């Protein structure tokens, strides 16, 4: 059984969809289905800690420089 969805697109997204329709000859439905599969494949790929940290990387200017190597910083952590 097919399921129908309704999606709201802004002007820019609608323009991208129209351009893709013209350049590929695919229907809107085909493009949306392919996009879903691409996102699903991308999300299933393992990501590095740097990618997971995202925009927070480099935000903290202060703090101990040896945080990852000096065990004294872990005293009392997790207890």
Q: Where are the domains of the chain?
A: 11-69
Q: How far apart are CA 77 and CA 14, in angstroms?
A: 50
- pLDDT (0 to 100) of residue 68: 77
pLDDT at position 36 is 96
What is the reported pLDDT for 53? 85
Task: Please list the rounded mean pLDDT of every run of 10 residues in the chain (79 residues).
Answer: 92 97 96 96 89 81 79 79
pLDDT computed for residue 20 by the predictor? 97
- Residue 64: predicted pLDDT: 79
**Rounded CA gap, 18 and 35, in Å?**
14
pLDDT at 79: 67
Helices (H) and strands (E) in the chain, counts: 3, 0
pLDDT reported for residue 25: 97
């Amino acid at each position: 059984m097919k399921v129908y969805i309704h999606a709201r697109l802004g002007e820019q997204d609608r323009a991208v969809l129209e351009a893709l329709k013209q350049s590929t000859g695919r229907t809107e439905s085909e493009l949306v289905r392919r996009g879903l599969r691409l996102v699903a494949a991308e999300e299933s790929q393992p990501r590095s800690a740097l990618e997971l940290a995202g925009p927070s990387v480099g935000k903290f200017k202060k703090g101990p420089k040896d945080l990852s190597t000096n065990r004294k910083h872990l005293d009392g952590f997790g207890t």
